Amino acid sequence: MHIETLRERAGSLPREPGVYQFLDGERVLYVGKAVELRDRVRSYADPRSERIRRMVDRAEEIDVAVTDTESQALLLEANLIKRHRPKYNVRLKDDKSYPLVALTDHEFPQIRITRDPESGSTVFGPFTDKGTVETVCKALREIYGVRGCSDHKFANRDRPCLDYDIGLCTAPCTGEIGRAAYLDDVESVERFFGGETGVLTDPLRRQMEQAASEERFERAANLRDMLESVEQFRQSHDEAVSTASDQQRRTDVLGVSLVGSEPTVAVLRAENGQLVDREQHTLAVPEDGGQLTIDLAGETDAGVVLGAFIPQYYAGTELPQRILCPEQPVGEGLDEWLSSAGVELGVPGAGREATLVDLAMKNARKRNSKRDGGAALADALGLDSVDRIEGFDVSHAHGRSVVGSNVAFLDGSPNKPGYRRKKLPEENDDYANMKALLTWRAERAVEGRDDRPDPDLLLIDGGSGQLAAARDALSAVGWDRPVVALAKAEERVVTPDRTYDWASEESKLQLLQRVRDEAHRFAVQYHETIRDEVSTPLDEIEGVGPETRRRLLGRFGSVDGVREASIDELSEIRGIGKQTATAIDRQLS
């Protein structure tokens, strides 16, 4: 495919999450996912490797499928790769398959997060966020004590291991729990992954409330964070598993677009609870070869289009157990034919099934959506994704009341449960303060004391100096995470290898700016809270209350800064007249 052709084709794609396929005739060469299809496909006009360049040269066409969420795109990509085994998806065996949770087929089953489950295991997933899955599995082990150790460690023990001591295992290896009771706990884990969220959230909530009543606030906070992760996990997994009914082996969901001269029908296919394929068909007049040639005689009714589409399409493919449509298909004998073949036909009006039909309609129409800079940022930095970004900033007043902020963004939006803040040693050294903040975050991650998943990218508010301090901290602790910096002065993105000067309208820069600004806001807010808790000589001056003191310290940075200010400069502060300014000057002199 010529580069200009690729750019032209990309320009017509929607700005929505989804999956794209490069095709050589009927053969699928490459499958990829995108937060924004248009930007991601356009990036192939400048291939980053010779392998991708060869793939683009061979490609004749690009096909896309839009999804509601990036989670759906991730899972659809994985299933399409497994189905088509594209030649150029060479990294599939490594980082392009998604984690599963497996309960092994042992006398005392082991719970594992894996990409390659053992034969006979009970498997759940795939899931798109390994960090969240790890948090959920840890919570399950805390509540039900299912072992996570290898067979080698499990065998021939004469006393329980550390997991038993810290409450992560009931130690079936040494007979601390009988097999029947242990299997009851395993069944509870299976029920959770089967959809009974309360099996885990209810005991977590009880433990959190008990810890709070006993004033064990750190334990209560950890349980609160774990509970939020579990609830978020269930919600995101429900979004990712796009099927009308998990009891149906196969469900096809149809959407219709009547825009343009030829109707379009999209088919979403779900098998065993997962969205596995998507097709799109244009219904053309008989003389137009290569498409479904159905003469609709000028009909523009979706029901008539579906009534014409279904018999011809399913004449050449296996019928599903269920078909969902936006409208009742119109066609003589159609209902009887489907019923005799054991196919259930549905037109959902509300709920999850209606949402799936809406997604099929979106695929048929390929409408534009809001721009998201995550994919563009990942491409520019050479990362697989930047779904989760954590931002860091430090705030202080000339080395006093030093605090650090740690904010989290998920899919381009603030993730408030992931925010943290930290009091730091009082030191008037921005680089040392940043190093202390990143050391704190890295140590918590490495030691397993932070319930949050590891971020895809760390963003430092500052320039090359702050970036170097942050990298020193990560290196010393041994926490390997990508990190960049963004300074306010010139809005240049500083990486360990180079500096980027992106245009202000570029979405990837705007995403980093949102994270940086939020980290700064959160740090300043906490600094003001800490600073207001400290008594200063300003408190003794008549006419200077908490609000006026806040304005003075905000303007001049410290009591010393206020002391050095002139009466005219003091008078410029809202709420301070000449008389109060004179009193401040006299009192601090």
pLDDT tens digits, residue range 506-539?
888 989 998 998 998 888 887 776 655 545 677 6
Q: Supply the pTM of this predicted model.
A: 0.36
- The β-bridge relationship of strands 100-103 and 322-324 is unpaired
Residue 245 lies in a domain: no
CA 520 to chain centre: 22
| Same domain for 324 and 261 | yes
pLDDT tens, residue by residue, 234-281 = 655 544 433 334 444 688 999 888 765 567 888 888 776 566 777 777
Residue 440 lies in a domain: yes
| Same domain for 112 and 38 | no
Q: Is the confidence at residue 67, as pLDDT, over 50?
A: yes
List all residues 6 or more positions away from 80 whose beta carbon is below 8 Å from its beta carbon.
19, 21, 28, 31, 276, 277
Helices (H), 158-256: 162-165, 179-193, 198-213, 217-240
List all residues 6 or more positions away from 505 whose beta carbon is below 8 Å from its beta carbon.
none
Q: How many Cα atoms within 13 Å fall on the side-chain side of residue 506? A: 16
Long-range contacts of 288-296 (CB under 8 A, 24+ apart): 296/263
Gap between the Cα atoms of 273 and 567, Å rounded: 72
| Same domain for 126 and 222 | yes
| Same domain for 518 and 540 | no
Cβ atoms within 10 Å of 238's Cβ, excluding its own:
13
Residue 164 lies in a domain: yes
Q: From 304, 332, 365, give the residue that closes a domain.
A: 365
Higher pLDDT, 176 or 116: 176
Gap between the Cα atoms of 43 and 41, Å rounded: 5
| Same domain for 307 and 224 | no
Residue 263 lies in a domain: yes
| Same domain for 59 and 10 | yes
| Same domain for 422 and 331 | no
Residue 31 lies in a domain: yes
Identity of the residue numbered 174: T
Give mean pLDDT, residues 378-397.
87
Gap between the Cα atoms of 467 and 495, Å rounded: 8
Residue 412 lies in a domain: yes
Give mean pLDDT, residues 47-74.
81
Tell me what pLDDT residue 557 has.
67
Long-range contacts of 1-6 (CB under 8 A, 24+ apart): 1/56, 1/57, 1/58, 1/59, 1/60, 1/61, 1/62, 3/45, 3/56, 6/41, 6/42, 6/44, 6/45, 6/56, 6/62
Residue 370 lies in a domain: no
**Which residue range is the domain that position 562 belongs to?**
535-588
Q: From 513, 531, 549, give the residue that closes a domain.
A: 531
Give mean pLDDT, residues 159-179.
88
| Same domain for 104 and 91 | no
Under the banding of pLDDT at 50, 70 and 90, the label for residue 289 is: very low
| Same domain for 432 and 540 | no
Question: Domain containing 62 — which CATH number?
Answer: 3.40.1440.10
Helix, strand, coil percent values for the chain (each to nearest 5): 45, 20, 35
Cβ atoms within 10 Å of 393's Cβ, excluding its own:
27
| Same domain for 180 and 150 | yes
Provide the number of structural domains found in the chain: 5
Residue 475 lies in a domain: yes
| Same domain for 300 and 268 | yes
Under the banding of pLDDT at 50, 70 and 90, the label for residue 474 is: very high
Among the ranges given (260-269, 359-368, 416-425), the one the predictor scored with the smallest mean pLDDT = 359-368
Using an 8 Å Cβ cutoff, are 280 and 266 in contact? yes
- Measured CA distances, 83 to 119, 269, 276 (Å): 20, 13, 9
Higher pLDDT, 529 or 563: 563
Q: From 192, 215, 240, give the residue that closes a domain.
A: 240
